[in-house]
Amino acid sequence: MGLDFSVIPKYLDVVMMGAVWTVAITVAAALLSFFGGIVFAVIALYAPKFVRLPFRAFEWLFMGTPLLLQLFLIYFGLVQIGIDLPAFVAGVIGLGLHFAVYNSELIQTAILAVDKGQMEAARTLGLSRGQALKKVVVPQAVRDVIPPIGNNMIALLKDSALVSVIGVSELTLSAQLAIGRTYRPFEFYVLAAVFYYIINLGMEAVLRRIERKVQAAR
Amino acid sequence: MTDQKPFVDIRHAKKSYGTLEVLKDISLQVHRGEIVAIIGPSGSGKSTLLRAINDLDPLSGGEIWLEDTQVNMDLPHRQYEKHINEVRQNIGMVFQHFNLFPHLTVRENITLAPKLLKGINDAEANKLAEEQLAKVGMLERIDYYPSQLSGGQKQRVAIARALAMKPKVMLFDEATSALDPELVEEVNQVMKALAEEHMTMIIVTHEMGFAESVCDRVLFMDQGVVVEEGPPSVIFRNPQNERTRNFLRKHLADANK
Amino acid sequence: MDVELMLKVYPFFLKAAWVTIQLSVLTTILGLICGSLGAAARLSRLRILRIVGAAYVSFIRGTPALIQLFILYFGGPQVGIQLDAFEAGVIGLGVNIGAYMTETIRGAIIAIDKGQAEAARTLGMSRYQSMRYVILPQAARLMIRPLGVNINALIKGTALVAAISVIELTYTAQRYIGSTYKPFEMFFISGVLYMIIIYVTGRGIAWLDRRARIV
């Protein structure tokens, strides 16, 4: 059969459109995972026991099972209980929650590592526990784990390929679309890989900038 | 002054961790504008007593009063939280290790609590920060981060942060103990200036010279009790108790090393 | 929860779990081989090998495992590589995790290398000898735990081969969700099986780690 990359230009715009969607889903899920991770961490550490324990079980379940399986559950499970989400939204929720759990683990450790004196100082000024957490402890904890959270975001970009299986027309599914027309899987999957690689490089550059900015505020 | 009601009133304070008694029935009255130093060896309970005043280390028994309000009131959790947050706004505290918020600038360190709790706007908050920083001689560092300051500068900012809440009383928990010797004086100067404004202060310290020159009254604590108390001239020049004499002698010897 | 249904279908999930275990074991072995070669290349004195090693790590870690799997399985025949889905799964996932293991192994070696290599060299050992007798035995202990993290990710990563129709746990769950319309039950069975596999593996790694510390 051999290789023939001359088929690519005709479908380039389809694949590029897919790349745009991949960026969109990655950014949306990354934001959800970041803020979700903070909320999860606070729940896991400070919620009353009857919330905390089931929540820990949920975290454990999410960390112990494959993302693909979770995506199937969210996509088909929600349909079953009568919530018919667009594939894009289901994909963002699935990816976002999955990585929120991983981010939450990082943030929890960091919160516990923030010096006890910080909470004390905030409380002596009259801040409530919630205010002290929100304004003093959690921001420091999050700042401390920006680099590993960045690594999770990079992993999220690559795992976003999985949402193609629930029908989100991102980069991987767009490549499959072109393959369906041309029967040229090698060429188009390699093309998709190149796009992923470029997005990956761009994302690493952005994350490095954020890290430098955060580093400056020390 | 003594005919007034006490400003800070500690009544029969007791505190124990398991079987270890850290505070054994301590009572102390501090009047408005009075400056009290608490000295004593480490483990004597002096920091615990200080931290009980704003209920940071809750007592096991006894009462703390600030004017007409009981600080360590027995209330349901929610009400207690509301109560203590209000009380603490009136009690400034300065820590040995400064505890500045490293993710905030000097300005933000000072304005955080007033903005959140007193609902003042940005302009008022900035003015407040500038005033307080000018007072401790740190105005030119207003937009620095704590990590860019020396220990003495950090502690001056921490004092300004506490003062910005307009507290009625200031607690100092070994405020100069973590500082290099050459930086101690700049913090002492700030505290002296506060004394001249008749701020009510309770100071846990190892700086005997400072305590002698600034304070109205000195308490010597050891093993959870107040062994001796009186004006600095008596405590430092002519202590009556054997334990006080031993402590001061040892301390002087250490200081001269 | 439809327990009756779960009791009826669970034998199929057990069979599928066995496939997941086989995939995991074979992928781990291939991953360790690729990781060792990759680390050796990245730490080599030959510039060309260092470049090859760095390119391997960068491209594999810079693109999704799913795409790599698709290139191998669907694109392979175009360049004369004919693999069945299981073989493609093991090779694709093994080469993928190998890139991550490369960095783990390299990191452990670098961590030990600093002072120890100098000490070994001053005793007159060759570079090879110092690596073989001084650095590697110590680095091996140091890398057990982070390799465990890689293996944990790999076990969950085997779910990807469901996308090329290998009948393992996730594929089975997906198929039964489709035919029974009971997503929660199917998720529950497969989830429990995944967690058992991961738990047992984790205990094994912790045991190895403890033993390595005593020795």
From residue C112, give the alpha-carbon distance in Å to each of B22, C43, C138, C149.
47, 13, 7, 20
Domain count, chain B: 2
Look up the pTM and report it. 0.85
Enter the tokens of residue B194. 């506060």
Enter the tokens of residue A137. 């402890």
**Angle of helix A49-64 relative to helix A8-46, nearest 10 degrees?**
150
**Separation CA A185–CA C72 (nearest Å):** 10
Enter the tokens of residue B177. 């103990």
Q: CB A218 to CB B147 under 8 A?
A: yes
From B164, which residue of chain A is nearest by alpha-carbon distance?
Answer: A125
Enter the tokens of residue A195. 């796009």
Q: Is B230 exposed, middle or buried (0-12, 13-18, 19+ CB in 10 A)?
A: middle
Q: Is B78 exposed, middle or buried (0-12, 13-18, 19+ CB in 10 A)?
A: exposed
Among candidate residues B48, B46, B40, the one with its CA nearest the CA of residue B247: B40
Window 101-160 of C: residues touching A by CB (8 A cutoff) are: 156-160
From residue B130, give the alpha-carbon distance in Å to each of B120, B201, C66.
15, 23, 58
CATH number assigned to the domain comprising residue C38: 1.10.3720.10
Q: Which residues contact C126 (CB under 8 A, 6 or more apart)?
A: none
Select from B116, B133, B167 the last residue of a domain.
B167
- Provide the H-helix boundaries in A81-161: 87-113, 116-124, 129-132, 138-144, 146-159
Whether C and A touch, i.e. at least 3 CB pairs below 8 A, reads as: yes
- What is the interface size between A and B, counted as CB pairs within 8 Å? 68
- The confidence score (pLDDT) of residue C5 equals 86
Average pLDDT score over chain B: 92
CATH number assigned to the domain comprising residue B48: 3.40.50.300
Distance from chain centroid for Cα C206: 17
**Rg value, chain A, Cα:** 21
Residue C91: CB atoms within 10 A of its CB come to 21
From B147, which residue of chain A is nearest by alpha-carbon distance?
Answer: A218
A176-213 per-position pLDDT tens digit:
999 999 899 999 999 999 999 999 999 999 999 988 88
Domains and CATH numbers, chain A: 5-217 (1.10.3720.10)
Please check whether residues B119 and B162 belong to one and the same domain. yes
- The confidence score (pLDDT) of residue A79 equals 79
Three-state DSSP at C116 gives helix
From C70, which residue of chain A is nearest by alpha-carbon distance?
Answer: A189
Window 31-60 of B: residues touching A by CB (8 A cutoff) are: 54, 56
Among candidate residues B71, B90, B76, B69, the one with its CA nearest the CA of residue B164: B90
Please check whether residues B161 and B175 belong to one and the same domain. no
| Boundaries of domain holding C167 | 3-214
Task: Give the pairing of strands B225-230 and B200-204.
Answer: unpaired
Please check whether residues B158 and B35 belong to one and the same domain. no
Q: List subunits contacting chain B, requiring 3 or more Cβ pairs under 8 Å.
A: A
A96-115 per-position pLDDT tens digit:
999 999 999 999 999 999 99
| Boundaries of domain holding B177 | 1-90+169-256
Please check whether residues B44 and B79 belong to one and the same domain. yes
Please check whether residues B252 and B221 belong to one and the same domain. yes
From A196, which residue of chain C is nearest by alpha-carbon distance?
Answer: C63
C145-195 per-position pLDDT tens digit:
999 999 999 999 999 999 999 999 999 998 998 888 888 888 889 999 999
C60-107 per-position pLDDT tens digit:
999 999 999 999 999 999 999 999 999 999 999 999 999 999 999 999
Return the bridge partners of B93, or none.
B171
C25-39 per-position pLDDT tens digit:
999 999 999 999 999
Domain count, chain C: 1
Q: Which chain A residues are within 8 Å of B103, Cβ to Cβ? A: 139-140, 143, 217-218
**Separation CA A115–CA A110 (nearest Å):** 10
Q: CB B101 to CB A125 under 8 A?
A: no
Please check whether residues B140 and B210 belong to one and the same domain. no
Complex ipTM: 0.89
